[in-house]
Structures are given as structure tokens and as C-alpha cells.
Structure 1
């Protein structure tokens, strides 16, 4: 954590730049700005003292530090980006700093009363993604039994162009617990701002939940997911992609597909394939595994989000019945509610129906032992439902399904039917044997009995149980195939710990080097503003063995300028010489450059990325969040020019990270 101290010194220096006044903003007065600088300097000093005291006492630095650092982070970012959107913004910033100063003094003295306080409390954690401090808010009823395991409601906020850390603190810190919250804790996720809980925004949801569970006794079987508008889009997405994590899901309005919502017309096939990553309606079958209530106002265009899911369920063969403004899907714990005459809000009558549905299923808890699992995915990124896991696909971004049911009489055999699945894991306690696509295999007493799941691999038209060593190879991410967490595309590298590496050697081609440096600078700027963190960057000469162990490496430059590109190039599915560069069809290296993602040859459990940050940019962040879909596949070639270059080739590697057919 010592790196954090110098980071706050940098933060203080950046605060010296006054915000640019705009017609729709309310920058601080000179007096307010001077006070912000003074109190920021004082809080930065106290953070240094707090960190030193935590280390000296051998106490955990992360959360104890972050609970205070979120207040300086808020002051830093609002000023850095001139985000004084409202008349009270400067005063709110000063209030946040005062709260941070008070907390710092308490924490230095070994006291953290906010960790047990009732009402709304803003806290923080240090993200594993980029080392940034990120806030979240917790509401705890007064007198809650801290010895009992309690329900957790995870709330995803809607899109708000005026949202920043200062506004988030102002909205939650010190507020009373809302009426009706009893014997539960409510978590409000910041989600790194406005990104529909995609990419690092998705990681933020789970990091915030983990942070709450470090200090609260949360019942893992009674975690509820709720959201409206952009938060509703996030609830559709996270609810259907992770169906076995939630006791119930409430998804209000939002969007559940991309083409129509974002009014896309003609996009390349490699981009169209990538829409299957986040389009929630494609995952409608997963409503078989989680209770979901979807809501939309009768006059709200975002009513379409729940309509998409209902239509997808009908296509899958589920019968639906409609009574008044409620629709149910037979055989599922699925309810769709329409608010009579409502626009983009929830009426009281609908709220009562929604709360009754959620409360009923939250009381029951997650049905981990359900006898039947029906699961769909398009990527190994989303691979689990109840007691089955899809570890490898036959083809990414094509529909893959598992339908599994335990014999209700004897529980002796679990019948499994698959489509587009190459490796499947089944928890061994569910039955004695597994019959997969007609092939009967051992389960409870299969080889590798020390493992909780049995792994099966498809070979041709048959299936085989893997032994202990083969199963451990999959568990330890030691295979050379696409698998959960190492499946691409390029943007996936920025959902876990990553490190950008700048080339410092003599470039083969100065034009390409300038292009790579400009891409790194652009990524740093956009990550700072839209993902609310400082981009982690090192020079190639400074990368350590620990960096290789813990982080995805994002390498900028060419084999001459970046020593790691040169070192890894022989092991990558990329041809790059001083004259030619590319994948299947090399281009002139003088004015072309590659971008790509692949497993790191030095650590197969991490990615290596070449010359790319997020493949979408600021325009997508400013527009509808449905635009945050990949613009490239696993690889691309750019024609480099003074305007940044254009894509001349892009596509996906096969399941073994090899190139067979180049994309459009």
C-alpha cells in the first residue's frame, strides 16, 4: 500500500489546476477553491499518517485506508474534470473533505465507528483492477443484530450525467435508512459512474459486494439484485449472466439488447458477434435458474427491455399468461409488471407487487440444489448455473446450452443434453452417474474424488471423464484454450488486474511508435474520466516478476521499442517484422500496426494485449451505455495515419487461440 501515498501527493498537485467554467457548470469561487486546496492537503497528510499507523500496527491497510481515501478521491476527480455540475457542488466537495478529515483522525486513533453506524454510510475499497479507490454506500437499520446472517439488497443506480463521487457521497453519507428496510443491509453500488455495469463497472459490483461481506454477516443465499433505468439494464445483464448468485432480481426498465435500442444499422460481423457478450435477452433461458421480476411503465419506451425477454422466452417454448398488466411464464419464477399509465418511474401499486415477489423469493434463498438446470451462454466469461459449469465452448459467440436434470426418484442419474459445449463440469454430489448426450459416465465416484466437481470433455460425438491431473489443469488455467477468464475479446483484459507497459527502446518504425503512444495517452485520459481511476502504467524496463504474476500486460509499441513485445512475439499468433505485420495476410509495416489479445506465454492465467485499451471511446461513454460493446475482436490491423488510423482487418482466434479464418 505504500504506493498509495505518492498517489495522493500527485492528486494534491493536480488539484491546483482550476476547473474550466462552462455555461452548465458552477465552478468554485476563488475562496472556495483555496479552501478545497487547503483541506485536500491536510487530508492527504492525514492519509499518509493513517497508512503509516496501519502498517506499524500490522493492521489491514486496504479497507481501513479506502474508507477515508474516498473523500480525497472525490475532491480530486471533481476538480480534475471540472465536474461542478450543480450550484452546491463546491460546498458538497468541502463537506466531503471535512468528513474525510474527521474519519482520518478517528482511524489514526484506531477507531472506525462508521463501520457499525446505522443509516447511510459511504465506504471504499481498493480495486484489484487498477489500484484505484472506489466508493460504495451501505444502509444498515438501527439495532440490526450483528451476529445474525442477514439479507443483502444490491442496488444499481440509473444513468445520471451529473453523477460523480462528490454527488454520490452527498446522496448517501449520513442519510436515514429508508422506511421498510428491516433485518437487511442495502448496498448502493457506484459502479465507476455511468457504464451500465459493464467491463470494470461489472467488476465494481462484485468488488463492492465482497467489501461489504468483509465486515457484515451476509447470508450468501439471500442476496437480491435490484436496479432501474441504467440500473435496470445492469440488473437484466447481471441477473441473467450470473443466475445462481441471486435470491431474486428486480430489473426495472433499462435495455436488454443493443441493435434496436442503440439504433445500430450496418456494423461488421465481428462487432455483431460481440453483442452476444452483453445482450441480456440472448440469456433469457437463464431465467430458469433465478426468480426475476421485470418492470416497465406503460408509456415508457424502456418497457421494451422486459418485452424483449418475454418474447425470447416465448421463442424458447415457455407459455406465458397475462392477467391485466402482469405476465407470468409457466414453469419459471418470472413475472413481468407494467405500470398503468406510467412513464419512466414505478407507481405504488406496481412497487407493492414487485416488493412482494422479491421478498417471497429472498426469504426462500438461492436454490443451489434445484433438480433441473437450464443454462445458456455465448462466452466462457459467463459459465456457471447452480451445479454445472461450462468450461470450454466448441465455438465462441455461438449459442451454447446445457439442460440437466436429476432423476427425481432415485437421484441416481443426472441427464444432461448439451449444444456447443466442449468441456463441462458437474458437481459430484448431485447424483451417482451422469448421462451426457446419451453417454453414461461416473459422477459421485469418478476419478479425482478430491475435487468437488467432475470434468468431462467432448471428443468427437462422445464424452469422457477427465482424471485428476487433467481436471486440475483446467482448474489452474493451465490449458491453451479459451476458458473462463481467458476468453477475450480485447476489452475483457480491463475487467481484472492489468498493467499498461510503455516501450522505451528504439522503435522499428517511428510512425507506428507515435501511433501506439497516442493510443496509450488516449486510453489513460478516457480511463481517468470514464472509469474513475489512474491508468496503471510502467516502462518496459521496470516490469517485475510480480507484475507478470498478478496482472494482464498491455504492451504499447513495437518489437523494437517494447522489449516485452519482442520477447513474447515468437509465442504469439502474430507475424511482425520490420517490413511486414499482420495475422493471416501481413501488411506493410511502414504504415500498419496490430492490436490483439492472447494468453500471456509467461503466465497462461493472464492476458497479454498489444497496442489497445478499450476498443470503444469517449463518444460511446457519452452516448447510451448500450454502445459500450467491443469494436474489435481478438485481433485487428490498423492502417496508421495522422487521424489515428482505420481498421483494415479484425476477427477472432479459434478456441485454441489460433487463427483459422480472418474476420470481415
Structure 2
């Protein structure tokens, strides 16, 4: 089956047309040869990964190669032009056998390791690591296939020639206009890719609008084959002289959790490397990316001038045709955190351009109509268009529309005197000139309403302990001395970051490690641990940091994940020591609630006993998420859950007891 966003449909041009445009763009901007192949299908691919051992050395790949799930797809293209006076890496002959390509890759990786300490923060070095990572995926899984070797050789050549560009601005003329960039993720020690287009005006130093493009879902998407941009989006950015950045989003994460974090990092990296007009940043998404654009826009409205949502959904309950009140409150809270429906008031000052095919067979038109109606009711300025005669694949059609072009030209970021903002998690703690909101842990949701009338500004807050105001960024008409706050304390300074909190997925958002305490010769425990690692790989397209028999320094340096039983794990016993969770030979207990241990499992998050600024996650008993899709495995993990080995309709294990700790990491009975 082809990927959902890669199926043929109306309004799509061919991959050949897209490749022709990409090569022309780079040629016109001074880059020789096809740098990126604009491709759609990727139908022969599976999951990609970055297998490595991390304990203190995130730059060295070395975990067992058999665990790599690579793909036979992706781009093999000519390297960028080197800086003047620097020798370019020469392409290798395609007739070399597999062993020579592997040897070339090892040599390239060794050269990159040598450069790590001095060049780690350089964009060219990050791009080189991304290309080397892609080559490793290709060689490891399909090293004997000539096509894979050719693609791997191309990625190696790109990695080698990127090292010639270290220290050179990314707007320099010898660097292709459309290219694959990268950055280092401290979370799991991986090099993450993103695509970027830099127009001539930005190369001249002019601040230009930025379109951040979120891709759609495909079950075959991975780091090798993901580089696909609609041809008419490239045409739009080219004609309007817009910068464009396309995050990988860790694959099919729905741009939630670590996927959302990737989007924010790509925006930050693009602003650091290129002259971005901060008042003209647009978040655009197709299909799954449209769903991400709705939610990320609601979480961070102050970052965006507007949203462009094509064939996307924003309402979990309409998607799954489930009544919200039929779900337990802890599931409602997890859903409401990640989806836009109950946060739409946050978009009061962020215009939305939304288009949908009337005959959409993947995201039915009723879903678009539902979220658009809810947005308008919340006061959002939505331009909504239904495309007659089109199924899901409306992307080329819409990116070519003149009304979209005119909408972009007329739209810029607002900085309002009056607004409303709601958040379901302390991580969402800033909005416009409210520089910091100290959101209470279990606010459901926290809410702040700002109203300015007759020179007086009133802030009404609930679920928020304190509010800090950036007086340097106040809009006209708002005077610091005329601001009063009800329901929260006004703080002159931004408080230090609070200790981290749950749910479980939060532990993935800063450096984390999977800890293996067992004996590697114990095949049963090693196989179980390997499965947990593979689950992260399937979810986030990278191998987790793995530490075998950690030191106390290791345990204090990471959010730690411990898998196993307390009878065999001194570390699990230490984590549980002062917690409300008790595990006996026969029972799991949380507070006063006790459940038979047989046929059940436990997943829970706690403060890290070795470092209160880090987290500790344990999983005991029956495995979690065997019935869930790989990209939804971690969706329904709150702070704690005792679960059975059978599944609810959403694919998650049925919960016997689940919920969230209070601010003292205890349970409210």
C-alpha cells in the first residue's frame, strides 16, 4: 500500500516535474547539479534509524547493526560547490563493491568524529552528519543492492563536501538555494534533518517571510525518503521570495511531543541561519501536518502571522467519532493538550487559511467543517475554501491559488492589547507580551484573559500561580503602571524553571536514556530491552541513548527509563522508595488502590532520585502498547497507569487505574 499522502490523485504534478523545478531553482541560484530530488513516492521504504551507543559519547554510532531498519529510497545527488580555495570531495565510482562503500563511510564518520568538538554547532557540520546518517541507514540494511550503494555513495559525497563549507554563512552563493540542513538533538543524541529554501533576497541580507511546511503522514516515511515538497509550494516561495523550512518532525509523530519540539527547533535554527522577518512567519501543513499546524498554532500563537491548513483535521473526537464525555478524564486531558479543539480561542489574533477537498476520502469534509465552525465560534478569522472535484490531494491546486498568494501578502503577525490564552500543561507558558506564565500542574486548563480598555489593562487568570510581563514588548496603549492582575501574582522577574513533570512522554523532551541493568548474555531480558528500544525507533526514527550498567553520573545526567521488575532491579527499587507506588509479589498498589499483578502492567513517571531536575520512568509487568500503531504508542500514558493486557478501542491498554500526580508527586484520593 502506498503512503496516504503519496497516493496518486487530482491536482498533483509528477515527480519528474518537481525534480525539474528543484534542479532549476538550485541552478538559478548558483548551485551546480541536482542537490535535492523532489520526490513523492517512497513506496519501498520502512523505518530509518540512527543506531548508536550514547553513554557520554552521543557522536559515535555503535549499537548492533542488525537493529537498523533502513530503506531503499531517498535522494542521491551532487554535492554543493565548495568554498574558494578548498578542495571538493570527489565522487566515488559507482562500480565499487559494498565493502569499499562501507569503508568509505567509516572513514567519513571518523573524519566527522574528529571535527565534532570544534564544529559541532556549525550548520555545515550538522548537514554532513545528517548525510552520513542517511548513508549508514542505506548501507546497513541494503548494502548489497546496487541502487542502495549508489544512493549511499551520493550521501557520503554530500557529507564530505559539507565539511568544506564549515564556517561559511548559509546564505553564501556557493550553497544551494534548496538544501537539506540539520541539527543535533540532545534528547537522544541524534542528528535531525530539515529542508530549507533561501531566496535571492534573503541571500542579499533582506529579512524575508518564512513558511514552515509540515508534511503529511505515510507509513513508509523515514529519514532517507522524506524529502518531498509540493512543486507549487516551491513556486510560491520562489515568486514571493519567502524562506521555506520543512521539519522532519521525527516522522509520523503527528507533530506532537518530540515532533512539536522538532518544529520549534527548526524555526529557531532557521532564524539563526537566515534573515527571517519575525512578523511574517507562517505555519503550513498538509493532512497530518495540517493537524499539527492547528495544534502548534494554538500552543504558540505569538510566533505566527498565520496558519495554512490543507486537508487537515483538528478535532480528535470528530476524527474517532467518539463522545468526549464517554472517555475517562485523564484521556480527555491528554487529548485536549495535543489537539486544537479546546484551545481555539488562542488563535483570536492568528488568521487561518483552510482548504479541503469536498470528496476527501481520508479526512472527510465533515471534519474540516466541524473544526472551522468551532474556530469561527471562538472568534478566529478563518478563510475557508472547499475544493470541488478533489479528493485528499489538493496541495498542488491550493498552493497555486492567487487568493492564497494575496492572503500571504496581506497577513502579518499581530501583537494585541487584548487576548485570551489557555494551556493544559506547564510547558505552554508564554503568550505575546506575557513573558512567563507559572501554570499549575493540574490546571485543566489554565487560562488568562487580557483586556485593555480606556488605557487600563486587566489580566484575569485561573490555574496560574504567577505572571511575568515583558515591559519592553508591550503594544501601544498598554502601560505597565496601568496593569492589574486578578487570580495570579504579577512577578517582576521570570522565575527559575520549575522541576520537570509528567506525563510520561515529557521525559522524551530533554536528554533521556534507556537503562539496561541485566546481563547481555541473558537472552530473554536482552530481547525484551531490545524491543523497548525498537519501539522508540519506530516512533521517533532514531535509536535511543542506551546505557548498560550506568554510573551515578549517568543516572543524574538523563531522564532515565527503566524496564523490568523491582525484584531484579535495584534502580527501580530506588525510584519507588519514597513514592506512592508499592509493588509486592502479588500486587500493584497506588495510594489505597490495589490490583492483582498477574496479567497487568505498570507505567509511571517520578522525580529522578539522582537529580531532581531530571525524571525517572519505570515500566513493569505486561508490555505496553502492543495493540497501538507505532506512531501512537505513547499517546495515552499519563503520569501513572496500571493496565491490563487487552486493548481499548483506541489501541491503548485498558486502564484499571490512571491519572496524574499532584504537585507533591502524590495521588489525590
TM-score (norm 2): 0.74
Instruction: Check the 8 A contact 1:297/1:340 in 2, yes or no.
Output: yes
Residues in 2 aligned to 1:144 and 1:602: alpha-carbon distance in whole angstroms: 47
**Residue 188 and residue 313 in structure 1: after superposition, are their counterparts in 2 closer, same or farther (change >3 A)?**
closer
Moved more, 282-291 or 423-432: 423-432
Q: Distance in 2 between matches of 1:81 and 1:386?
A: 47
TM superposition shift of 1:246: 0.9
Tell me, which stretches of 5 or more residues in structure 1 are unaligned?
Answer: 26-30, 319-331, 438-457, 479-485
- Per-residue deviation, residues 218-237 of structure 1 (Å, max 9, x unmatched): 23333211111111111111
Cα distance in 1 for partners of 2:161, 2:492 equals: 56
Counterpart check, 1:414 vs 2:472: no
Question: How far, CA to CA, are the matches of 2:429 and 2:294 in structure 1?
Answer: 17
Distance, in Å, in 2 between the alignment partners of 1:590 and 1:616 is 14
The number of residue pairs the alignment matches comes to: 574
Say which of 370, 374, 391 aligns to 1:343. Answer: 391
> Paired residue for 1:293, among 350, 353, 359?
353
- Local SS of the residue matching 1:272: helix
Match of 2:404 in 1: 354
Q: Are residue 432 (structure 1) and residue 441 (structure 2) matched?
A: no
1:326-405 matched pairs, under 5 angstroms? 332-344=380-392, 345-346=394-395, 347=397, 351-361=401-411, 364=412, 366-368=413-415, 370-388=416-434, 389-393=436-440, 395-396=442-443, 398-405=444-451
Are 2:580 and 1:530 aligned?
A: no
Task: Confirm or deny that 1:564 pairs with 2:571.
Answer: yes
Q: CA deviation at 1:95?
A: 3.2
Q: Does 1:634 align with 2:648?
A: no
Alpha carbons of structure 1 residues 279 and 176: separation in structure 2 relative to 1, 3 Å: closer
Write the deviation string for residues 513-561 of structure 1: whole angstroms up to 9, x where unpaired: 97x876643321122233111111213433526x524x32222234453
- Report deviation, 1:36: 5.1
- Give the distance between the partners of 1:82 and 1:259, measured in 2 at CA: 41
CA contact (8 A) 2:640 2:660 kept: yes
By how many angstroms is 1:577 displaced?
A: 5.0
Partner of 1:491: 505
Task: Name the residue aligned to 2:137.
Answer: 77
Is contact 1:291-1:333 (8 Å) kept? Answer: yes
SS in 1 for 2:302: coil
Q: By how many angstroms is 1:386 displaced? A: 0.9
Distance 1:496 1:314 in 2: 36
- Residue 541 of structure 1 corresponds to 550
CA distance in 1, matches of 2:489, 2:199: 52
TM-score of the superposed pair, with normalisation by structure 1: 0.75
**3-state DSSP of counterpart to 1:285:** helix
**Cα 1:184–1:619 shift into 2, 3 Å:** farther
Output the CA distance in 1 between the equivalents of 2:400 and 2:234: 24
Q: Is this contact kept in 2: 1:250–1:292, CA < 8 A?
A: yes
Seen in structure 2, the aligned counterparts of structure 1 residues 151 and 414 have a Cα distance that, compared at 3 Å, is: same
In structure 2, what is the Cα distance between the partners aligned to 1:354 and 1:18?
Answer: 40
Q: Which segment drifts farther, 381-390 or 149-158? A: 381-390
C-alpha separation in 1, matches of 2:585 and 2:439: 37
**How many Å separate the matches in 1 of 2:375 and 2:228?**
41
| Residue 369 (structure 2) aligns with | 307
1:156 corresponds in structure 2 to 214
- Distance change (3 Å), C-alpha of 1:37 and 1:582: farther
Match of 1:261, SS state, is helix
Instruction: Give the conservation status (yes or no) of the 8 Å contact 2:128–2:162.
Output: no
Output the aligned Cα RMSD. 4.2
Q: Is 1:275 equivalent to 2:335 in the alignment?
A: yes
For residue 314 of structure 1, report the CA deviation from its aligned partner: 5.3
Q: For 1:213-256, what per-residue CA distance to the aligned partner results, in whole angstroms no more than 9, with x for missing partners?
A: 33223233332111111111111111112111112211112211
Structure 1 partner of 2:112? 50
Q: Give the 3 Å change call, closer, same or farther, for CA 574–32 of structure 1 in structure 2.
A: farther
Which is further off, 280-289 or 487-496? 487-496
Matches within 5 A, 1:96-495: 96-105=152-161, 107=163, 116=172, 117-142=175-200, 144-169=202-227, 180-264=238-322, 268-300=328-360, 301-313=363-375, 315-316=377-378, 318=379, 332-344=380-392, 345-346=394-395, 347=397, 351-361=401-411, 364=412, 366-368=413-415, 370-388=416-434, 389-393=436-440, 395-396=442-443, 398-407=444-453, 409-410=454-455, 413-428=456-471, 430=474, 431-437=480-486, 458=487, 463-465=488-490, 472=495, 475-478=496-499, 486-495=500-509
- What CA distance in whole angstroms lies between the structure 1 residues aligned with 2:259 and 2:171? 24
Distance 1:80 1:648, change over 3 A: farther
Contact 2:311 2:368 in 1 (8 A): yes
Q: Structure 1 residues 239 and 102 mapped into 2: Cα distance closer, same or farther (>3 Å)?
A: closer
Shift of residue 406 of structure 1? 2.6
| Aligned 8 A contact 1:47 1:68 in 2 | no
Cα distance in 2, alignment partners of residues 432 and 146 from structure 1: 42
Contact kept? 2:588, 2:597, Cα under 8 Å: yes
Would you say the 8 A contact 2:211–2:245 is kept in 1? yes
Structure 1 residue 156: Cα displacement:
0.7
Corresponding residue SS for 2:316: coil
Supply the distance in 2 between the matched residues of 1:553 and 1:532 (Cα, whole angstroms): 19
Tell me, yes or no, if the aligned pair for 2:588 and 2:594 is still in contact at 8 Å.
yes
Instruction: Call closer, same or farther: CA 1:113–1:381 in 2, change over 3 Å.
Output: closer
**Aligned-pair distance for 1:192?**
1.8
Offset at 1:371? 0.5
Aligned to 1:325: none
Say if 1:92 and 1:167, in contact at 8 Å, map to a contact too.
Answer: no
